[in-house]
Structure 1
Amino acid sequence: MSPTVTFAHLQSRSLIAVGGPDWRSFLQGLITQDVETPAPGVARFGALLTPQGRLLYDLFVVEREEGAWLDVEAEHRDALMQRLMIYRLRAKVEIAADDTRVSVLFAGDGAPAQPDGPGWARDGRLAELGWRGYGVDMPAGTVAASEAEREAQKLQLGVPGPKDWGVDKTYPIEANFDLLNGIDFHKGCFVGQETTSRMKRRGVIKNRMLPIAYEGPAPVFGTEVLVGDLRAGEMLSGVAGRGIALVRLDRALGAALTVEGRPARVEVPAWMSAAVGEEAA
């Protein structure tokens, strides 16, 4: 039986329209994702970092006939636009808010087929995350869902989000951007590139955001994850029974953990199991 295909509007996301003759070179020198090579029909995941290499804002780059949309957190759109204006200098780039609605089409653990009509872009992170829609209506034969249901699907897949990494706190590799096609290590310079490339090149990645299962309600953000009396990480976002934690790989993997005295265990998703296994070895 095929999985139910679900459609949801994402109230937490909004758009910035970027255009002008220099838009590609402008973004290329700023964000973690490559934009010099055209990729129509794909929402390319990436981020703008601090010069020290910490995550400021996540984004998706969605190409249009003239320029691109940046699909960003709605609450951070104004701040990100201000940051882009600072970097613009003499580049021939136009930056403006765009109120086109952002939606998503997904199917639980499966990968839905490409929907008909314009306005759709494949989520560049994982096939299971489906399609992002821009100014689209709900396709026939799909089921309406809330954004909370989309967040639940991401949690089941072990995909962290802005609630987990915050602003100017986390390195993108700790938030798995490298495993979710969010960093191009061959594109050349971008803001924060030196620290990011060094972490990857040295292969010394001690901490990652991983899904964690536990009993009872979600612990408070920042609650310690323990292995015995040793700190193995801290809780981030979550719901009853499951959440995301930033954990030390050398202590958390395969260990009997506790959170607020309750038994807990890390569950490494299939899409990152090989990489995490190598890093913890």
Structure 2
Amino acid sequence: MTATDTDAYASPLLGLAGAVAADPPDSGVAAHYGDPMREQRRLAVDRMDFVDLSHRGVVRVAGPDRLSWLHALTTQDVEHLAPGESASALLLSPHGHVEHALAMVDDGEAVWMHVEPGTAPQVVAFLESMRFLMRVEVSDLSAEYAIRWEPTAEGVTAEGVTAEGTAEGTTDHLTRQGADSLGGREIFVPRSKLAETARRVVEAAGDTGSAAGVREAAGAGDTAAAAGPGRPAGLWAYEALRIAAHLPRAGFETDHRTIPNEVGWLGTAVHLHKGCYRGQETVARVHTLGRPPRRLVFLHLDGSVDRLPGHGAPVTHEDRAVGFVTSSARHFEMGPVTLALIRRNVPVDADLLADGVAAAQEVVVPPDAGLHVRPKLRA
């Protein structure tokens, strides 16, 4: 993988039999490996297996001034981020619109972050433009490192930890485990390990890696999967869990005019009691006065309709367009579900249509979200 040519990227795990490639902007990794519902259940219930997120960008910021510098540039309080501690932050425009979301962890010498596919060069370019005389070094390491997500056992604290005891059985991988990690952890893995991971999955399957063999190896009792590196689960399974958790994703739940208040990022990616940063005036004003222009909602779709609304599909109320679909998935328990961004003044009990599909609304960001009313993000 190069830092910019994400369309040409193909993970070694796409070579496994049964793998079906995901659509842009997630090109290069698998949407599923032949059984998306089972893959999702094993992640959510059995707390097993892993998800290939190697198409995401990786950025590293080193130097003695890194924490104070990032503290001043981003929405998060990271000035005293401890080694191994994770954080989420945003880069905003001068008008408070979301430009980039950063998933960060500090290793004691540098802050590592992963970002949306294809955006690492933009993040690096912006950070470089803000260096001035600060003692920092910014690197795009997307060609050297990849991201893998795996669920953690119940009771594991949501703090940054080393990768000891991961599926690779090593201790040299940096791990991020934050409040937005879907009850799991993201591991920064040397890209050279991806082919080895694919080989181990094939060996665990026990029959040249056919889809049937992989399923059999992960069958009753999950003996082979537990003893080996685990099975890969596709991005459909991961996205379904993200949508069900009401977690926004940059480029999906955001457009060119989204502010953090609209999608539930206050408290997770925005610290409301830190010093000035670019775009803070807008965030603080809307938080103080309440009533963001739009609000994120979670929609339960009519399961009798055999299609999912695509990103950008219209959401309507009483024959009027009131917003758009941001992400859709089939959840293994709830059925078809969607996140959508709609006008603030749409009644919270209103029945909606998402691309013509009947949808029952569940509030994520209340219409009067602000200083005294917080988003209802799921634990």
**Larger strand share, 1 or 2:** 1
Q: Deviations over 1:198-227 (max 9, x none)?
A: 111112224222221223322243333222
CA distance in 1, matches of 2:362, 2:133: 48
Q: Which residue of structure 1 aligns with residue 60 of structure 2?
A: 17
Alpha-carbon distance change, 260 to 152 in structure 1, aligned in 2, over 3 angstroms: closer
CA distance 1:223–1:69, shift in 2 (3 Å): same
Give the percent of matched residue pairs that are identical in Structure 1 and Structure 2.
25
Gaps of 5+ in 1: none
Q: Distance in 2 between the 1:159 and 1:259 partners?
A: 19
Which residue is equivalent to 2:261? 173
C-alpha change, 1:22 and 1:7, in structure 2 (3 Å) is: same
Q: Find the counterpart in structure 2 of residue 182 from structure 1.
A: 269
Who is 1:42 aligned against? 85
Residue range with higher mean Cα deviation, 117-126 or 41-50: 117-126
How far the C-alpha of 1:50 sits from its partner, in A, is 0.5
Q: What is residue 125 of structure 2 aligned with on the other side?
A: 82
Instruction: Give the Cα–Cα distance (whole angstroms) in 2 for the partners of residues 267 and 134 of structure 1.
Output: 34
CA RMSD in angstroms, aligned pairs only: 3.0
Counting only pairs closer than 5 Å after superposition, residues 1-281 of structure 1 correspond to structure 2 as: 3-98=46-141, 99-106=144-151, 111=154, 113=156, 116=165, 117=171, 119-125=174-180, 128-135=182-189, 141=226, 142-166=230-254, 168-179=256-267, 181-215=268-302, 216=305, 217-239=307-329, 241-268=336-363, 278=373
Distance change >3 Å, CA 6–CA 252, structure 1 → 2: farther
Q: Cα gap change, 1:176/1:111 in structure 2, threshold over 3 Å: closer, same or farther? A: farther
* In structure 1, C-alpha distance between the alignment counterparts of 2:347 and 2:186, rounded to whole Å: 34
Q: Are residues 168 and 229 of structure 1, via their aligned partners in 2, closer, same or farther at CA, if it must alter by over 3 Å?
A: closer
For residues 129-163 of structure 1, what are the alpha-carbon distances to aligned partners after superposition, in whole Å with 9 as ceiling and x for unaligned? 3211122888x835431233211211222222124
Higher CA-based Rg: 2
Q: 1:112 to 1:131 in 2, by over 3 A?
A: farther
Distance 1:195 1:188 in 2: 14
Rounded Cα–Cα distance in structure 1 between residues aligned with 2:146 and 2:238: 16
If the length of structure 2 is used for normalisation, what is the TM-score?
Answer: 0.64
TM-aligned CA distance change 1:11 to 1:131, over 3 Å: same
